[in-house]
A and B are shown apart, each in its own frame.
Chain A
């Protein structure tokens, strides 16, 4: 496998891109979390924040090479992220049913500011799903389409 795609591994890192990404990506990541946490009270939300977080990881992949990033951020981690996000969303929603509320009725929890915390947690769950899906889509696309033998290798 590694012998056939020599054109991918021939990628040489650029100092300019690496330095810029090193400076910029922490801010982008933080801004993504900021957007996620602000979903309840101002402009923002899980989807946008998740997209920004994913873009910071895709930037790392551009700067340091896609294969090193794939080794650093294993596919199972991304799957776990998506699973935890979906579980958070469904858990918050179903949990309200246990407190005699409707699905996603945050007020049923009876905590002070329960609506706000409920929305925040759901936004974080959505953000985790979106970030995970975007990163895994990018990684799969970057892997190339040379698996022309048909069956998918899970």
Chain B
């Protein structure tokens, strides 16, 4: 394997790890705000790392440019979507989870 391939595999593995963190977060965390917190950041980072690795693998081609554009699109829209969801939830008056809720559930 060439050094480039090691780099690509490393980036994609890091991306898979952060996506896994996002999945663990959305299953384990108690309410909407904490889940949005876990998924927006980890999922964006995981997607960006994976797509970066793929763009490196394509090399100097049109496909690499398209992948980078997709990466930028995800980087802009994913946190905004999480922001919109959390904001809408706050507008609807959903209370954030606190430690005192723990014995209730």
User: Which residues of A line the B interface, CB within 8 A?
Assistant: 11, 14, 16-17, 20, 23-24, 27, 62
CB pair A16 B91 closer than 8 Å: no
- Name 4 extra pairs, CB < 8 A, besides A23-B76, A24-B76, A27-B73: A11-B91, A14-B84, A17-B83, A24-B77
B84 touches A17 (CB 8 A): yes
Q: Chain A residues near B76: list those with CB within 8 A.
A: 20, 23-24
Interface range for B: under 10
Question: Majority SS of interface residues in chain A?
Answer: helix
Residue numbers of B with Cβ under 8 A of A are 73, 76-77, 80, 83-84, 87, 91
Check A24–B73 contact: CB distance below 8 A.
yes
What are 19 A-B contacts with C-beta separation under 8 Å?
A: A11-B91, A14-B83, A14-B84, A14-B87, A16-B80, A16-B83, A17-B80, A17-B83, A17-B84, A17-B87, A20-B76, A20-B77, A20-B80, A23-B76, A24-B73, A24-B76, A24-B77, A27-B73, A62-B84
- Please measure, in the bound complex, the distance between the C-alpha atom of A45 and the C-alpha atom of B84, giving whole angstroms: 30
